[in-house]
Structure 1
Amino acid sequence: MEGTLMDDIQTLLDREQIRDCIARLARGEDRRDAELIKCCYWQEAKLDFGIFTGSFAEYLAWVVPGSPAVPLTLHTLGQSLIELHADSAAVETHVTSYHRIDMGEQHRDVVIGGRYLDRLEQRGAEWRIVQRTMIYDWVSDYGQSADWSKGLMGTPFKTKHSVGAARGDFSETFFKQLNTG
């Protein structure tokens, strides 16, 4: 059984790198951060979201800067089933995605549940997505969005950084503080 422990450790590392890639991508999409998104896909990647199908370059142009009618998204990832095959992996990840939709006079909150079906390849020591397909399982329209200028449940916010945004909110400052400290 020589090498079994090292094989198991490498498998754990590969799985964690795959999960990290998928999590970084969700953050990149929510932030409309082209550089972060680029680090998660190989250039020849193909994508199929049902409402968008195309190359990685076409996808990047579509998702960044994103639709002005969707000023805010939040992708929350669930479990990932990862099947490793040498230098490739098949991965299914559950996702719940929140979308604030600008309807003109008001914003609406829409939540979609589904699964990402990803094929990743490892090149060198790096895992990235080479193919992504989105499967939609459910959608809920929660109606008019909260008016954050009034605080939370009638209590005003005491800080300016309490409400998130696609770009320029406190999470960017938070990570910069950690990286420069």
Structure 2
Amino acid sequence: MSQKNEAELLQELEDKQALRELVTRYARAVDRADRELLAGVFAEGAQVENGAFAGPANEFVAACLNRPELERSFHSVSNEFFAVDGDGARGEVYVIAVATWNKGGEKTDTLVGGRYVDKYRKEGGQWKIARRTFVHEWNMSFPTTAVWDEGLFGMIKLRGQRSKDDPMYKILGGRA
């Protein structure tokens, strides 16, 4: 096993941190329905395979954000593994997504668990997703039981938005 010098080790750590921030930015972009942020995580010519969708990332971005029946979503990423090789990398990231869908006035909550199996590449010094494949592990669906206007939850007025009206944009000054 070869020993890495300090510069190589530091570069590897910087790259892995940048990849962590990239996958977190993807989750934020989807949950906030931020087209510019979502488009910015993908490399030129990137491909996505995600359920019924398989094709170019730019088409995925449009399809992903054109979902008026999706009231809210919350993606949590964890168990990140990255293998960096120069300006390319491979990774596996676990994801749990919670969403509320409103189809004809009937609301359903879904929980989906799976993994993103990715290929990444550096473009202009920035890590981007070159290929993203979603591997489905489990899911649950049930009629929504959310209570928004009663008790403790009724007192909480600051709520997430699937738009740039989300508090994050105000708090971070528009910098996502």
Deviation at 1:22, TM superposition (A): 0.9
C-alpha RMSD of the superposition: 2.0
TM-score by length of 2: 0.89
Alpha-carbon distance in structure 2 between the residues aligned to 1:99 and 1:33: 16
1:92 paired residue number? 92
Letter of the 2:160 partner, please give it: G
2:64 maps to: 63
User: Which has a greater percent of strand?
Assistant: 2
Q: In the alignment, which residue of structure 2 is the partner of 1:41?
A: 42
Q: 1:173 aligns with which of 167, 170, 173?
A: 170
List runs of 5+ in structure 1 lacking aligned partners: none
Q: Percent identity?
A: 25
* Aligned: 1:148 with 2:144: no
In the TM superposition, what is the alpha-carbon distance from 1:104 to its structure 2 partner? 2.6
Residue 145 to residue 52, structure 1, CA distance change in 2 (3 Å): farther
Deviating beyond 6 angstroms after TM superposition, the runs of 4 or more aligned structure 1 residues are none
Correspondence 1:50 to 2:51? yes
Please give the alpha-carbon distance, in whole angstroms, between the structure 2 residues aligned to 1:47 and 1:156: 37
| Helix, strand or coil at the partner of 1:89 | strand
Cα pair 2:160 2:166 within 8 Å, conserved: yes
Return 5+ residue gaps in structure 2 as ranges: none
In the TM superposition, residue 171 of structure 1 has moved relative to its aligned partner by 2.3
Counterparts of 1:61-140 in structure 2, within 5 Å, are: 61-64=62-65, 66-140=66-140
TM-score, scaled relative to structure 1: 0.87
Which whole-Å CA distance do the structure 1 matches of 2:131 and 2:84 have between them? 15
- SS of 1:129's partner is strand
Structure 1 position 126, deviation (Å): 1.0
Give how far 1:42 is off: 1.1
- The alpha-carbon deviation at position 85 of structure 1 amounts to 1.6
